[in-house]
Amino acid sequence: MLSLILPTFNEAKNLPVMIPKIEETLQSVEHEIIIVDDDSPDNTWKVAQEMSEKMHNLHVIRRVGRHGLSSAVVEGFLAAKGDVLAVADADGQHDLSILPIMFAEVKSGSNIAIGSRYVEGGSVGDWEEDRQSISRFATALAMFVCKVDVRDPMSGFFAIDRETFEKTLSKLNPKGFKILLDFLVNAPKKTTVTEIPFVFGERIHGKSKLEFKVKVEFLEYLYDVTVGRFIPLTFLKYCIVGSLGIGVQWGTYYSVSRYILEAYNLTIVGFSIALLSAIEVAIFFNFILNNMWTFNHLKLRGMKAVGGFLKFNVACAVGAFANYAVAALIFSQGYREITAVVVGAIVGTFWNYTINRLVTWKG
């Protein structure tokens, strides 16, 4: 049996066109269709549910508070009944006529069958040159990290046998849009792949979801499966934020000491007032940026963000004390102010990451 997953977001106009096409294409194949919708504002999930009332093999999963194409595909696979699991876009860009071929390839022994744009007979269609260039570059990077030799590891159109999916499941890092790449990076040894050419088409309705965020998530994924095995991406991001926070701390310190205290030759008391003010401003800056970027997958909102900020302050208290103590010690020894401030901030960063990962952004 073939279980076809259609991850959707704002595809309400496309489903009434796509589902009949899929049914016609798969009329000789036992199958089910599972629509996994990320609570679309255009009520895609509602359109799908209404269609499912007339189709026994159409099922709908409406995800509230969960987002992302890759995780939607995994959730659909987990709910599927078939021994062959497939995924396609719901916008008409994938050539559905090759679905029976993909199914047959997996049933005959291939672990994964890919609808490929980059084997002979395949094409990206009418893409503009800049999009083609970006795609070729991204594909080259993706091929570098794959365990399996394929030409189109970035395809969103593929089928996989259930056994391979289950063997790979615990290793997956379903971030962003490229779930096939995740399978190919974590696939068991001796995984066999067949690529079937198809020409990438145009969307029926709506606009492409290939945004800047998607490109960033792709680069983050590549980092995760290479350098990220040794230095976690969240720690790298936290350090980047911390580095920016050092600049904020120094800028605040300079402004307070020079323009508010109006002192160019500070006593230890004046230095302490300016420094402690700068530390709190930097803490606020770091919390906002870490919440929006570093721990975006665990983002705190509303009152949880207020509570998180309080926890962040408490968690950073020891780090701030270490920051202050080291900086004050260095300053009292006659070193330049900027040296004292920067070294103190670095010392505080290591403590802050560890405790906030455990307390503020748990998950």
**pLDDT-wise least confident of 39-48, 234-243, 344-353:** 344-353
Are residues 189 and 252 part of one domain? no
Q: What DSSP string describes 231-248?
A: S-HHHHHHHHHHHHHHHH
What total of structural domains would you count in the chain? Answer: 2
Please say if the pLDDT value at position 209 is more than 60: no
Question: Mapping DSSP to helix (H, G, I), strand (E, B) and coil, where does residue 62 land?
Answer: strand
**CA–CA–CA angle 320, 324, 325 (5° rounding):** 115
Indicate the residue among 197, 229, 261 that finishes a domain. Answer: 229
15-50: burial string, b at 16+ Cβ within 10 Å, e else: beebbeebeebbeebebbbbbbbbebeeebbebbbe
Are residues 247 and 193 part of one domain? no
Indicate the residue among 205, 229, 253 that finishes a domain. Answer: 229
Are residues 288 and 180 part of one domain? no
Predicted confidence at residue 287, as pLDDT, reads: 93
Are residues 149 and 259 part of one domain? no
Domain that holds residue 242: 233-359
Question: Mapping DSSP to helix (H, G, I), strand (E, B) and coil, where does residue 47 land?
Answer: helix
CATH (domain of 193): 3.90.550.10
Q: What is the DSSP letter of 1?
A: -
Please say if the pLDDT value at position 362 is more than 80: no
Per the model's pLDDT, the better-predicted residue between 17 and 338 turns out to be 17
Indicate the residue among 195, 210, 229 that finishes a domain. Answer: 229
Per the model's pLDDT, the better-predicted residue between 174 and 117 turns out to be 117
**CA–CA–CA angle 5, 66, 206 (5° rounding):** 60
Are residues 183 and 35 part of one domain? yes
Are residues 331 and 317 part of one domain? yes
Q: What DSSP string describes 218-278?
A: HHHHHHHTTGGGTS-HHHHHHHHHHHHHHHHHHHHHHHIIIIIS--SS--HHHHHHHHHHH
CA distance linking residue 302 with residue 248, whole number of Å = 25
Are residues 193 and 105 part of one domain? yes
> Residue 210's pLDDT band (boundaries 50, 70, 90)?
low
Q: Average pLDDT, stretch 343-359?
A: 80
> Residue 138's pLDDT band (boundaries 50, 70, 90)?
confident
CB atoms under 10 Å from CB of 6, counted, come to 28
Q: What is the tens place of the pLDDT at every residue in 216-261? A: 777 888 888 888 888 888 889 988 998 898 899 989 988 888 777 7
Are residues 278 and 179 part of one domain? no
What's the chain's Rg over C-alpha atoms? 26
Please say if the pLDDT value at position 196 is more than 80: yes
> Residue 206's pLDDT band (boundaries 50, 70, 90)?
low
Predicted confidence at residue 211, as pLDDT, reads: 60
Q: Average pLDDT, stretch 59-68?
A: 90
Are residues 116 and 54 part of one domain? yes
Predicted confidence at residue 202, as pLDDT, reads: 72
| CB contact at 8 A, 327 and 262 | no
Are residues 344 and 216 part of one domain? no
Predicted confidence at residue 205, as pLDDT, reads: 67
Please say if the pLDDT value at position 136 is more than 90: no
Please report which helix (H) or strand (E) contains residue 58, including its range: strand 58-62
| CB contact at 8 A, 101 and 26 | no
What's CA 5's distance to the chain center, in Å?
Answer: 20
Question: Mapping DSSP to helix (H, G, I), strand (E, B) and coil, where does residue 130 land?
Answer: helix
Q: Average pLDDT, stretch 72-101?
A: 93
pLDDT above 90 as % of the chain: 41
CA distance linking residue 45 with residue 295, whole number of Å = 28
Average pLDDT, the chain: 87
**pLDDT-wise least confident of 39-53, 145-159, 195-209:** 195-209
Predicted confidence at residue 50, as pLDDT, reads: 94
Are residues 148 and 24 part of one domain? yes
**Structure token pair of residue 86:** 């497939």
Are residues 329 and 202 part of one domain? no
